[in-house]
Amino acid sequence: MKLSLNEFIWQQRSDERLQRVAPLLLAIAQSCRLIAGAVRDAALNNAMGAAGSSNIQGEAQQKLDVISNELMMAETRDLVRALASEEMDEIVPCNPDSDLLLVYDPLDGSSNLDVNISVGSIFSILATPEPAGDLAAESFLQNGRSQLCAGYALYGPATMLVITTGHEVNGFTFDEHSGLFMLTHPKLRIAEEAKEFAINTSNARHWPAPIQRYIAECQAGSSGVRGRDFNMRWVASMVAEVHRILLRGGVFLYPQDSRESSKNGKLRLLYEASPMAMLVEAAGGAASTGAERLLDVQPERLHQRVPVILGAMNEVALIEGYCRTAIAESYLESNTLHKGHALLETQFQ
């Protein structure tokens, strides 16, 4: 017999983090249930299309972005000291008696809504660093290792909630008959090797050389240096991409590139990269910027962006190796040129 989310939490009495965040986690589950309903009925309720507003990143908001943000906030605000959303410029102070902070992307992949492709919500729960007094945005600037709990909801053929407190990943499917999330995917693990990669190849001309090298080797298949064939997937919804990797393996890349808008990466550190990195690592995978472990990145801004490479451990390690080699070669080339210029200056003095 399958356990409900409530029963699962009750049975995991030794998981101190889970017990600490349990009321908030249940409220998040409720908000995800409501968001799933809003997504399902959007076309019937005139909730499709642009909202006529933009978020702080200058991206056009969909009506469902706004609706989802309001639903998440309404269900959770009494249980958190403050919350921060990808869709809001500033943090929102809430219950001064709480010692928890909530960070979330209320509707990831909303550009897919008009074609009825899976979207989702991503969340991260942090501890309040200050025991008393007013909070500032700086209170949220904690690296990924500080997360108490992270997870996402997937709104697809079934609504799923996937969570971790750091030592394992469990997936719950919403049962329309009982109104409960039921444990259907316990202790998810990611295979160390990958057979699939997910990246937006339309940006290939903008990628740094290490990423171009890795993708070219995958595309070469069994006749190339990797000696095996790969499949490519791209949904343009991070929730859907990570969910596939958790269930089927693979690697997901959203690297920085040469364009001004993407030179520091495209995905948000607090709202997307950190929570997904926590999930992937807890499932036996790896998550990196290409230069460092994602969970070690120290946030400097509330809406900071980073490059993201995550999934199968061996694949991420290979890509990191290519990135480090490129950095070392660039350093050596720069150092050699510098020495050469210095020598020329000496000769002509």
Domains detected in the chain: 5-185 (3.30.540.10), 196-337 (3.40.190.80)
Residue 92 has what pLDDT?
96
CA atoms within 13 A on the CB side of 250: 22
Q: Are 311 and 318 in contact (CB under 8 A)?
A: no
**10-residue mean pLDDT series, the chain (349 residues):** 95 96 98 96 83 67 92 98 95 95 95 88 94 80 97 96 97 96 98 94 96 97 96 95 97 94 93 98 98 97 97 97 87 61 48
pLDDT tens for residues 180-218? 999 999 999 999 889 999 999 999 999 999 999 999 999
Phi, psi for 30 (deg, rounded to 5): -65, -40
CA distance 110 to 236: 9
pTM value is 0.92
Phi first, then psi: what are they for 56, rounded to 5°? -65, -20
Instruction: Please give the pLDDT value at position 329.
Output: 79
The whole-number pLDDT of residue 344 equals 44
Tell me what pLDDT residue 58 has.
64
CA dist., res. 230 & res. 222, Å (int): 8
- How many whole angstroms separate alpha carbon 349 and alpha carbon 339? 15
Could you give the CA distance from residue 70 to residue 79 in angstroms, rounded to a whole number?
15
Pairwise CA distance, residues 199 & 24, whole Å:
33
Helices (H), ranges, 77-165: none
